[in-house]
Amino acid sequence: MIYERICADELTLSDFELSARLKMPVGTLPENFEECKSALFAAAAPAFTAERARVRFLSDARAELCGRVLESRALAKALAGCDEALFLSATLGFGAERLLRRYAASSPSLHFVTDAIADALVEALCDAAEARVLSAEEHTARFSPGYADLPLSFVKDILEKTNAEKLLGVGLTDSYLAIPTKTVTAVIGIKTVPKGNEK
Amino acid sequence: MKNILEILGKKRLYFDGATGTELEKLGLLSGETPEQMNLRAPEAVEALHRAYFEAGADVIKTNTFGANSLKHENYAEMIEAALGCASRARAGREDKFIAFDIGPTGKMLEPLGDLSFEGAVEIFAKSIRAAEGKGADLILIETMSDTYETKAAVIAAKENSSLPIFVTNVYDAGGKMLTGASPEVSAALLEGLGVSAFGMNCSLGPDKMAEILPRLADASSVPIIVNPNAGLPEVRDGVLSFTFSEEEFCAYMKEMAPYCAVMGGCCGTTPEYIRALRAATEGIPLLEKEEKGHTRVTSFAKIAEIGGSTVIIGERLNPTGKKKLKEALVGGNISYILEEAIKQQDAGAHVLDVNVGLPEIDEVEKMREVISAVQSVSDLPLQIDTADPSALAAAMRIYNGKPLVNSVNGSRESMDAVFPLVKKYGGTVIALTLDESGIPADADGRLKIAHRIIKEAGKYGISRKDIIVDPLALAISAQADSATVTLDTVRALAKEGIHTSLGVSNISFGLPRREIINSAFFAAALTAGLNAAIINPMSEAMMNVYFANEALTARDPSCEAYVAYAASLPEEDTHKGAPKSEKKSTAEDDPTNLFGAIVKGLRSSAGELAESLLKTEEPLAVINGYIIPALDEVGGRFERSEIYLPALLASAEAAREAFEAVKKRIPEEKSEAGALVLATVEGDMHDIGKNIVKVILESHGFRVYDLGRNVPAEKILDKVKETGARLVGLSALMTTTVPAMEKTIKLLREKAPFVKVTVGGAVMNPDYAKMIGADFYSADAMGALEVCKSFFGK
C-alpha cells in the first residue's frame, strides 16, 4: 500500500487540461484565474493511495480484479498484456470540496473557474502518483470506472482495495459518486517488461 | 466488576493493539471482513483478546469495527458473537474491561455526502442496541475522520446506552482531521458532548501523535487516549509491516505518558507492543488534569474563542426588519440566505447568528434546513438564535460543531428548557439578564440574574466558562439611561471574569442614522470589557470601531489586521456615496458606467452603478437602456468567440446584481421575464452546469427557483405546485442518475400536466431527452436561455 500527500504547489497543471476544462483556447486564462488558483491551492490537500494486485484474464471480455470478475471488453482490452495492475485513488480532500460548495453558492464565475482548475489539479495529482509509483515500469493509461463498459460500481472495489475510506476519507454515495467529488479512482495496467528493455 | 470511570484519570489504563492485522495472522480469509470471523472462527477472536489481556491490556476492543447495518445484514448476530468472544476471554479477570468498538459507517454525511445525520445516528443506534446488556463496560467510537459522524455516534450512544463513551479520532500529520477539524475543534465538540475520554488513533505513528498531543492536552481537561499505529505501513518481502519496532514505539509513548490517561495501539501493534508499552510506561506518573478555562464555540473546522480578541457575531441572518430575508425564508430561497452568510464571513464575522423565526413557517424544519445549508458553504461557527425550545433542540442536534446558543434567561421555564439541551448536545450559552419579572432597571439587578443563571447551569454540569452574559442593550430613545446601565453591567461582569455579549444595534432603535449611535456605543462597550458583539459586519462604521479597538488594545500588536483592513476600504476621495454614474457612454468597456461594468463583469460596481442610475432614471429604462444592451453585447462577443465562458459568467453575475437593484424599485411582475423551477436530479451531486444556467437566466431577468442538487422528484413537484411555475429545468451529469430525471418527468406529467420540462447535462442529447419525455433540450446555458426566451415569449 502506498499513501502519499503532495503539496498542490508541487503539481503541474496541464495547459491542455486547463483549456479543456475552462473551455478556452490553450494559453488563454480568465481574469480571475490567479484568485481562484490561490484559493484552491490553499484549501486543497492532494493525496493518493495505491495498491498493486494481480490481473487474471478469463476471456476477451472478462477479467478478474480485486477478487471480482468484471464483464468489460474495454477493460480487458486496455489491460491486455498486463499481469499486474495498480489501483489508484486520488483526491483533493474536503477543503477543496468546501471551497467549491462555497463558490457554488456565491459566484458561478468563481465556481466554474475553480472547478476547472480542480479538475486539472486532480489529473495532475494522478500523473504525479503514476510517476512516483510506476516510474520504472511500463504501464498503460489510467482506466476509470464509468469509461466505456466498465461499470461505475467498480469505484467501490477500488476505494476498498486502496483503503481510501480510512486513509483519504473518501466516501461513496448510493449512485457511486465519490465524495469529495474531486476524487479519481483508476486502474493502471503494469506490463511485465521493465522500462528500457522493451523493443 | 469495577466501573471504569472510578479508575479513569487516576491510574493509566492500557488498551489492546491491532485487531484486523492480527486476525489476518489467525486465519482471516481473502474477501472476509474481520467481524465475520466472530461467527466463523470465534475461537480465533477469543484467542486474540486473551493474548492482549495476557500482554497487559486493561481494556480490549470487541471485533465489531464494521459491524453495522449498512455493511452487514447480520450485524446484530456478529455483535452478539463478538461480545461472547470478549466475555469468554475476560472470564476470571475481574479488573479487565471490554470496550464495544464502533468504527465509521463508510458513508459521507450530508451536506457533503448522501447519508443524513439521522440516518447515521440510526445506524450507530442499531449496533449499540444490539450490544446493550451483553457485557461491554464502555463504548469506544474510533477511527473517525469526520467530526460530524463522531457526533452522530456519540448521540446514538447517549440515547441508547448508559455506558461511558470513549472517542478516538484520526488526524493527519499536519494535525487535522480529514474534514478539517483541528485537535482544538474536536476537543471542544467532544467535551461539550460530555464524553468520558477522547484522543486519537490510527493513521499516524507515536512520533507524529507526540506533536499533536500538547494541543489536545491544552484544549480540555477530559482524559486523553493515544492509540497510535506502529509507525507507517511498508511491505517488506511481500509482507506488510510497520516502521517502528517495539522499542522505538515505546520511546515516543514514554514521552507522551504523563499526559495520557489511556494508552494502547492501532494498526501494526501486536500483543508484544502492548506488553512493552505497559512495561515502559507503567511507572511514569499521570499528570493531574487542570480545568482549562477556554470559552470556545466551533464549526466543523473553525474556532471562535471568547475572551481574547473581540468576537464579531454577524446579525444579518435574522429576519427582524429584513424584508428580503423574510421573503427568502418563506419562499425557500436558500441561495439568498447562503449569499448573506458568505458576505458576512468575507466582511470579517467570526460567528454567524441564525434566526429563522417567522409566524408563517415551521421553525423546526426551517432551522434544520438553514443550519445545514449554511454549514455547507461557511466554516464559521454558528449562533443558534431561537426562542422555541423544539427548534433549538433540532438545530443543536444536527449542528456540526459546538454551537453558540442564543439564548437562555433567568426564568425557570427558560432554564429548564435550555440547559438539558446544552447538557446533551454541548454548547456555549448566551444568558440574557431578564427573568419572570422583566429586565431589571439597574446593573445590580442584572448581575443578580447573571449569577443565578450561572449557578443553575452548574447543577447540570455546565461550566461557568460556557455561559456568556448578555446584559441587554435597550433603546435609548425609550429609556435615556439604558446605555449607561448596560455599560455598568458589562464593566461589573468583566471584573468578575464573566464573558459578555451584546446585541449592539438595539441601542439605537427608533432613531435616524442608527450607525452613528451604534458605533459610538460599540466603542464604549468594548472599553467597558465587552467580549462579543452581534453587529452587521458589512457596516463600515462598526468594523472601523472593531479594527481600531483591536489595534489600540494590543490584540493586533503590529497593526497588521488594521493595515489590511484599511487597505481594503475604498479610496478616501471616492468612498462617500456610490460611484458617480454617467449616461451610457460610447466607450463600451468603460467600467464607470453600468453598461461597461456589466460588459467587464464587475459585480459590485454594477450593483452600485444601477442604484445610482435609479436615482434619476425609471427602473424599466435601466433594464432596457443598460442591462439588456450590455448582455446583448456580451452575448455577441461570446458567439464570436471574442470572450469565453468565464467572462460570460462574470458579466451575467454583474447583470444579476444590477437587476437586483432594479427589482427593489418596481413590482416583481414588471421586471420578471418568467419563472421556472431548476434542479439537479436525485442522486446527482453535480451542479456546476445547473448553476451556470441559473446565473445566465437570472441575469436576463428570469426568476429561478433553484432547488439545488440531489433533489427528489416529489420536492420538485411540490415547488411547482407552490409557485405555479410553468417550466421546470432538470440537470444530470451521471448516467446513473438519468433514471431519476425520467422519474421526475413522469411524476410531473401525472401530477402537474400543465408544466413543461427542459433538460440538459453532460449525459443528455436531443434523442435521449425525447426518449425520457422532456419537452425541450439545450446543450448549454445559452441554449437554455433561448429555450426560456422562446417559451415565455421574450
What domains are there in chain A, each with its CATH number? 2-194 (3.40.109.40)
State the CATH number of the domain containing residue B634: 1.10.1240.10
State the pLDDT at residue A67. Answer: 73
Tell me, yes or no, whether B596 and B546 share the same domain: no
State the pLDDT at residue B579. Answer: 44
State the pLDDT at residue B721. Answer: 92
Tell me, yes or no, whether B114 and B48 share the same domain: yes
pTM value? 0.88
Using the Cβ of A32 and the Cβ atoms of chain B, whether some distance falls under 8 Å is answered with yes
Whether pLDDT at B368 is above 60: yes
B500: DSSP letter:
B
Residue type present at position B247: E
Q: All 3 cell numbers of residue B207?
A: 512520533
Please provide residue B661's backbone torsions phi and psi, each rounded to the nearest 5 degrees. -65, -40
Contacts of B379 in chain A (CB under 8 A): 98
Does some domain include residue B412? no
Q: What is the DSSP string of B516-561?
A: HHHHHHHHHHHHHT--EEEE-TT-HHHHHHHHHHHHHTTSSTT-HH
Does some domain include residue B511? yes
**B293 confidence band (pLDDT: 50, 70, 90):** confident
Using the Cβ of A111 and the Cβ atoms of chain B, whether some distance falls under 8 Å is answered with yes
User: What distance in Å separates residue B179's CA from the closest CA in chain A?
Assistant: 5
Tell me, yes or no, whether B120 and B237 share the same domain: yes
Comparing CB atoms, the residue among B203, B301, B685 nearest residue A181 is B685
State the CATH number of the domain containing residue B546: 3.20.20.20
Distance CA A81, CA A47 (A): 29
Tell me, yes or no, whether B44 and B141 share the same domain: yes
Q: All 3 cell numbers of residue A55?
A: 490481473
Please state, for a pLDDT cut of 90, what percent of chain B lies above it.
Answer: 77
Q: Report ipTM for this prediction.
A: 0.86
Tell me, yes or no, whether B19 and B152 share the same domain: yes
pLDDT tens profile B100-113: 999 999 899 998 88
Tell me, yes or no, whether B270 and B160 share the same domain: yes
Tell me, yes or no, whether B534 and B577 share the same domain: no
Comparing CB atoms, the residue among A98, A105, A175 nearest residue B736 is A175
Does some domain include residue B400? no
State the pLDDT at residue B774. Answer: 94
Contacts of B143 in chain A (CB under 8 A): 166
Is the Cβ–Cβ distance between B657 and B606 less than 8 Å? Answer: yes
CB atoms within 10 A of CB B398: 24
Number of domains in chain B: 4
* Span of A192-196, B20-24, B330-334, B486-490 with lowest mean pLDDT: A192-196
CB atoms within 10 A of CB B80: 18
Tell me, yes or no, whether B204 and B107 share the same domain: yes
Whether pLDDT at A54 is above 90: no
Contact criterion met (CB < 8 Å) for B108 and A176: no
Distance CA B714, CA B12 (A): 55
- Cis preceding linkage at A180, omega within 30: yes
Q: How do strand A183-194 and strand B97-102 relate by DSSP bridges?
A: unpaired
Give the domain extent around B511: 472-567
Tell me, yes or no, whether B749 and B636 share the same domain: no
Does some domain include residue B297? no
**B584 confidence band (pLDDT: 50, 70, 90):** very low
State the pLDDT at residue B239. Answer: 65
Q: Which residue has the higher pLDDT, B748 or B732?
A: B748
Does some domain include residue B548? yes
Q: How far is CA B279 from the centre of its chain?
A: 43
Whether pLDDT at A199 is above 90: no
Distance CA A29, CA A47 (A): 26
pLDDT tens profile B664-708: 887 666 667 789 999 999 988 888 888 889 988 988 889 999 998
Tell me, yes or no, whether B623 and B552 share the same domain: no
Average pLDDT over residues B613-641: 89
- Indicate the residue among B281, B310, B344 that finishes a domain: B281
Count interface pairs A-B at CB distance under 8 A.
142
Residue type present at position B62: T
Tell me, yes or no, whether B40 and B129 share the same domain: yes
* Span of A185-189, B329-333, B477-481 with lowest mean pLDDT: B329-333
User: What distance in Å separates residue B108's CA from the closest CA in chain A?
Assistant: 5
State the CATH number of the domain containing residue B679: 3.40.50.280
State the pLDDT at residue B241. Answer: 76
State the pLDDT at residue B589. Answer: 63
Is the Cβ–Cβ distance between B675 and B702 less than 8 Å? Answer: yes
What value does the mean pLDDT of chain B take?
92
Does some domain include residue B143? yes
Contact criterion met (CB < 8 Å) for A31 and B649: no
Distance CA B166, CA A198 (A): 56
pLDDT tens profile B262-276: 999 999 999 999 999
Tell me, yes or no, whether B620 and B690 share the same domain: no
**Which positions 90-109 of A are in contact with B (Cβ < 8 Å)?**
93-95, 97-98, 101-102, 104-109
Whether pLDDT at A86 is above 80: yes
Whether pLDDT at B735 is above 80: no
Contacts of A102 in chain B (CB under 8 A): 342, 377-378
- Indicate the residue among B671, B689, B714 that finishes a domain: B671
Using the Cβ of A27 and the Cβ atoms of chain B, whether some distance falls under 8 Å is answered with no
Contacts of A168 in chain B (CB under 8 A): 178
State the pLDDT at residue B583. Answer: 42
Contact criterion met (CB < 8 Å) for A1 and B653: no
Does some domain include residue B326? no
Distance CA B462, CA B507 (A): 30
State the CATH number of the domain containing residue B191: 3.20.20.330
pLDDT tens profile B538-583: 999 999 999 999 999 999 999 999 999 999 887 664 444 444 444 4
Does some domain include residue B438? no
Whether pLDDT at B141 is above 70: yes
Is the Cβ–Cβ distance between A52 and A84 less than 8 Å? Answer: yes
Whether pLDDT at B604 is above 70: yes
Residue B484, C-beta contacts closer than 8 angstroms, at least 6 positions apart: none
Whether pLDDT at B476 is above 50: yes
Average pLDDT over residues A147-156: 90
- Indicate the residue among B281, B296, B327 that finishes a domain: B281
Contacts of B692 in chain A (CB under 8 A): 108, 112
